[in-house]
Structure 1
Amino acid sequence: MKIKLSFKLIITTILILLQYSVSAGDKDKVYFTNGFKIGEVTQNSVVILTRLCKAEFPVPIQHKQKEAPFCSPIDFDNDMEVSKMDGHVAGTFGRVRITLISEKDTLKGDWTHVSSYEDYTFKQQIGGLLPNTKYDVLIEGRKNFKSPKTSIKGSFTTSPMDHQIVPVTFTSTSCQYFWDYDHPERGFNTYDAMAKLNPQFHCQTGDFVYYDKPGPMSYNIELARHKWGAINGWPSIRDFYANVPLYLEKDDHDMLKDDATPKIKPLGEFTFYDGLKVWRENAPLYGTPYRTFRWGQDLQIWLIEGREFRSENKSPDSPEKTILGKEQIAWLKETVKNSDATFKVLLSPTPIVGPDRVKGKTDNHANASFKTEGEWLRKFLGENTIYVVNGDRHWQYVSEDQETGLLEFSQGATSDNHAQGWKQEDVRPEHKFLRVKGGFVAVNVFRENNIPTIEFVHFDCKGNEVNKEVIKYKSL
């Protein structure tokens, strides 16, 4: 009996091997249609995330857009087969291997399987890197060990040592709805404009996708995953992230829908915690969603989390009501206290200074609904000379808090098609700059005549400079 069972096992194994040894054709190829992300770069580590795809190109755009703002597709059938939806990128089974190459060493990973459980994504943290060193990235994929290999390449540079004096440029964006694209072939002009600046890294402060906007509405996990595949299928996004490390935050539309909290009602059958699962599949990071990174002597950045730990938006304000949560606040205080970086920049998914719209807004620190924590946070950041770059608002501005002097720089939406929510003529006392259009912010840190300097520059979607704030360091 034991011999018969072993014989069956051998036969089964042979049949599986024969199945994989069929001569390779196009059906055996895999693709990197969604590119890859280089995340969480430090002096000695990085997180690489990619996805194996079934087809070389996304499903072509079939529907026409409505007029801006929010150019949702006309006559879109939310019940159509997902595989036929505009921009769809199907995933596929297979194996992935990541190799990092510098002038001094080569780090080659193992071939690792991907599966439908995490939508065919693959994420790997790689340590043992050298500070301030350029690494070329080679990612290979294949269906099985007899199939042809497909590869994709990119590069990044690790961050310098804490007290190394080096110039740094980084960019930051927010709010990108797939259907608000402004280039029919590339997707978003902003990404191509940012690439020309050759930033050391990029901060995306949330609303990378919009589950609660048409084309489709994400009523389940399959439709939510479609949105990530579609947005990452735009060539401008894919090309940019192949050579620019990403620090990614999430906001309400990345989790579920507008102003989402952990207790918010589902969108169809898609829940807040489904959103968290899909987010983790697509975010190139591990560990806590709040974290801090050092880029030499003159720059440290903080990325905060605004969805997982928050109180209900419409509950009465009190000392206990929070967006950040007790653990994150303690972490923020401790890490700021321990920092000796010349300039400190906090990346926030939502505004802290504003001003924001009054009617119906209860979601952020600039709203009265979080008045107590908002006042404390503005005071804390102002006293520690921390500058804020924020997302969520679909217009660009520079605001200075009248009480604390805290400066906040809003990137605006990623495209003009997505810009709205404020009137250009509504200039408030807080505003040092106001522009109700899309674009991005670039932050430059450098030394001029040995004086540390930081610049916050607003650009439009095509890379034209529209405002610049220059701040020179004043020693205490």
Structure 2
Amino acid sequence: MRHFSVLFLLAALIMGCKKKEEKPTVIQEETKPDFVVAFGSCNMPQEPNPFWDDILAEQPDVWIWGGDIVYADTEDMDRLRSIYAMQDTVSGYAKLKAEVPIIGTWDDHDFGVNDGGASFAVKKESQQVFLDFMGVPQDSERRTREGVYASHDYQTGAGKLKVIILDTRYFRSDLVKDEDPKRRYQPNMADDATVLGDAQWAWLKNELTHSDADFNLIMSSIQFLSGEHGFESWGNFPKEVEKMENMIVQSGAKGVIILSGDRHISEFSKTNLPGLAYPLVDFTSSGLTHSYFSYSGEPNKYRVGDVVSDKSYGIINLNFKDKEADMKIMGDNGVVLQELKQTY
């Protein structure tokens, strides 16, 4: 009887193993994006940046600087060059730079003066130092025109992306101080007040109108939709906001997404424009090495989700077939702090 029990137990174990083997585990592989965009702003090379390895792990097809690459705030071009050079010695960034194309714009602190604009005395000299850092060839047309604006086209087997880099510093009119102590600036309603200047506006119109890209990303550096907080934004120039919105609608450009930085916070803003077949999103990603840790709230009628006041960077996964952009605010070690998916 004991032998029978042992044989029965062995048979049961064998049958149990066979039964498990008959149920294969199905592993669903995550669909790889057609194109991956990584971007961020507000970076001090002398401060630790925990993200460079995470960004490289995302296997981005391009890295876009959203401004404040360094904090120089100087009219001394030798000092500005030395601070940019410091950024190039950061090992994580050097690895990214060796494997991924780097493009982008400046903002006030790498431009040379806090909240600076067209009146900055050495903006021409600062432009050349910026172009040196970005590796722009000496014979490029960007060396002879005013401003650091540019466009970049990326053709893939699945579709096409255009990245439009704006310069919101070189031509920008003076800001108007606000007497309210809770606000820094109030709207400049002058007829000739501008963010981009005539030449850049004409260039942008041409880029959007003639774009055949499936997605058109516009890097603004300063926020476009969020303008109630009283700090720097396009909202300080309401007529320029209206001009940009009309241009986007009238151009017929597909999949326009605005990228911004500057604020040391990250957030999504979204609105529906009459005549535009899809919502306009402003994806703010700001605070690579320092963030608005004392953030306690501010108005933004276009906000989607919550403000992220932790250090972060942005990822946009583009799917050309489904016309979908998966936008993520990313924390350290690949943690998704917030996500917005939008079809176009």
TM range (shorter): 0.7 to 0.9
Matched, 1:465 2:332: no
User: Offset of 1:421 from its aligned partner?
Assistant: 7.8
Q: Which residue of 2 aligns with 1:220?
A: 76
Contact 1:291 1:302 in 2 (8 A): yes
Within 5 Å, which residues of 2 pair with 1:113-152?
Answer: none
CA 1:330–1:441 in 2, change beyond 3 Å: closer, same or farther? Answer: same
User: Offset of 1:445 from its aligned partner?
Assistant: 1.1
Contact 1:412 1:437 in 2 (8 A): no
User: Offset of 1:171 from its aligned partner?
Assistant: 0.3
Report the TM-score when normalising by structure 2: 0.75
Within 5 Å, which residues of 2 pair with 1:283-432?
Answer: 283-285=134-136, 286-288=140-142, 289-296=148-155, 297-314=159-176, 316-355=188-227, 357-358=229-230, 361=231, 363-367=232-236, 370-381=237-248, 384=253, 385-401=255-271, 405-415=279-289, 418-420=290-292, 423-426=295-298, 428-432=300-304
What residue identity is the alignment partner of 1:287?
E
Matched, 1:251 2:121: no
How many equivalent pairs are there?
283
User: Offset of 1:470 from its aligned partner?
Assistant: 1.5
2: distance between equivalents of 1:301 and 1:272? 24
CA 1:432–1:380 in 2, change beyond 3 Å: closer, same or farther? Answer: same
CA 1:456–1:344 in 2, change beyond 3 Å: closer, same or farther? Answer: same
SS at match of 2:94: helix
What residue identity is the alignment partner of 2:132?
E
Contact 1:444 1:454 in 2 (8 A): yes
Matched, 1:443 2:316: yes
Contact 2:61 2:100 in 1 (8 A): yes
User: Offset of 1:403 from its aligned partner?
Assistant: 5.9
Equivalent of 2:324 in 414, 436, 453: 453
Matched, 1:175 2:47: no
Contact 1:398 1:432 in 2 (8 A): yes
CA 1:329–1:222 in 2, change beyond 3 Å: closer, same or farther? Answer: closer
2: distance between equivalents of 1:455 and 1:299? 15
Identity %: 19
Residue ranges of structure 1 left out of the alignment (5+ in a row): 1-165, 183-187, 213-217, 266-270
SS at match of 2:219: strand
Matched, 1:264 2:120: yes
Report the TM-score when normalising by structure 1: 0.55
Q: Which residue of 2 aligns with 1:158?
A: none
CA 1:226–1:294 in 2, change beyond 3 Å: closer, same or farther? Answer: closer
Contact 1:355 1:430 in 2 (8 A): no
SS at match of 1:400: strand
CA 1:388–1:317 in 2, change beyond 3 Å: closer, same or farther? Answer: same
User: Offset of 1:395 from its aligned partner?
Assistant: 0.2
User: Offset of 1:227 from its aligned partner?
Assistant: 0.8
User: Offset of 1:425 from its aligned partner?
Assistant: 4.1
SS at match of 1:419: coil
CA 1:357–1:429 in 2, change beyond 3 Å: closer, same or farther? Answer: closer
User: Offset of 1:457 from its aligned partner?
Assistant: 1.3
Contact 1:353 1:406 in 2 (8 A): no
Contact 2:41 2:285 in 1 (8 A): yes
What residue identity is the alignment partner of 2:34?
P
SS at match of 1:253: helix
Q: Which residue of 2 aligns with 1:242?
A: 98
CA 1:325–1:422 in 2, change beyond 3 Å: closer, same or farther? Answer: farther
* Deviation sequence 1:252-305 (CA, Å, 0-9, x none): 11121111123236xxxxx43442332232222233332222223242221111
2: distance between equivalents of 1:318 and 1:427? 25
* Deviation sequence 1:166-189 (CA, Å, 0-9, x none): 81111001110234x23xxxxx11
SS at match of 1:275: helix
SS at match of 1:207: coil
Residue ranges of structure 2 left out of the alignment (5+ in a row): 1-32, 143-147, 178-187
Q: Which residue of 1 aligns with 2:25?
A: none
Contact 1:381 1:406 in 2 (8 A): no
User: Offset of 1:461 from its aligned partner?
Assistant: 3.5
User: Offset of 1:424 from its aligned partner?
Assistant: 4.5
Bigger radius of gyration? 2
1: distance between equivalents of 2:100 and 2:173? 34
CA 1:299–1:220 in 2, change beyond 3 Å: closer, same or farther? Answer: closer
Contact 1:172 1:440 in 2 (8 A): yes
Of 302-311 and 314-323, the range deviating more from structure 2: 314-323
Which structure features the higher share of helix residues?
2
* Deviation sequence 1:18-46 (CA, Å, 0-9, x none): xxxxxxxxxxxxxxxxxxxxxxxxxxxxx
CA 1:219–1:379 in 2, change beyond 3 Å: closer, same or farther? Answer: closer
Contact 1:205 1:250 in 2 (8 A): yes
What residue identity is the alignment partner of 2:82?
H
Structure showing greater relative contact order (alpha-carbon pairs closer than 8 Å, 6 or more residues apart): 2
